[in-house]
Amino acid sequence: MFDEILEKFEGSPSQQAVIRLCLERGFSVNDEGRVVSGGIEIPYTGIARELDVDRRVVDSTTDAILADPELRRIFANISSVPSLMDLAPVLGLTVLTIEVDAADEAGIIAEVTGILASHDVPIRQVLSDDPEFTDDPKLYVITDVDLPGDLLVAIRELSYVRRVGF
């Protein structure tokens, strides 16, 4: 799906960068063509500065989004999800990172969380990269306990797991 969205901007790497940023950060585009997070407007100049593009690129990208019914529907409904990953060190949480082969395979999250449950590990949050959106998707499990070695071994031994780390 993300490839199809980016294809609509294949002639403009700068507009693709704006699209990627909106998708990565969960920014939506409102009916006025403004980039927003919830009800908070994100100034074009801030987006342009982040991406090192002219603010007019942001403006033309939002115009293109509004002009395309499919893109308009997608970008009107994007929302961000708060993540504990960056807060984990501050809050004393553990972030388990799991790299897998065939990330679009069914049941990965269920099997990993099942192993955690069998070890009585409480889960605070589970996040996964979308395999269509990133070349190296990862699964992140955030907990407030230290993870025992045998649990890590059990996860590492799953056939699709390439690497386990913190």
* Amino acid type, 18: V
The residue whose two tokens read 């009800």 is 39
> Which structure tokens are listed for 49?
């500065």
Q: Where are the beta strands (DSSP E) in the chain?
A: 28-29, 35-37, 40-41, 94-100, 125-128, 138-143, 161-165
Q: What is the pLDDT of residue 44?
A: 97
Residue 63 pLDDT exceeds 90: yes
Given a cut of 90, whether residue 106 has pLDDT beyond it is: no
The pLDDT assigned to 135 comes to: 75
Question: Tell me, what's the pLDDT at 1?
Answer: 75
Sequence-distant (≥ 6) Cβ neighbours of residue 166 within 8 angstroms: 94, 95, 96, 97
pLDDT digits (tens, 9 = 90+) for 109-156: 999 999 999 999 999 999 998 777 777 889 999 999 999 999 999 999
**Res 81: pLDDT:** 85
**Percentage of the residues of the chain whose pLDDT score is greater than 70:** 100
How much of the chain, in percent, has pLDDT values that exceed 90?
A: 79
pLDDT at 104 over 90: no
Residues paired with residue 140 on neighbouring β-strands, in sequence order:
97, 127
Q: Which residue has the tokens 């987006």?
A: 47
> Across the beta sheet with 125-128, what order do the strands follow?
125-128, 138-143, 94-100, 161-165
Highest mean pLDDT among 24-28, 45-49, 98-102: 45-49
pLDDT beyond 80 at 42: yes
User: 135: which DSSP letter?
Assistant: S
What are the boundaries of each domain within the chain? 2-76, 88-165
Which pLDDT value is given to residue 40? 95
Can you give the pLDDT at residue 116? 96
Name the CATH topology of 88-165.
Alpha-Beta Plaits (3.30.70)
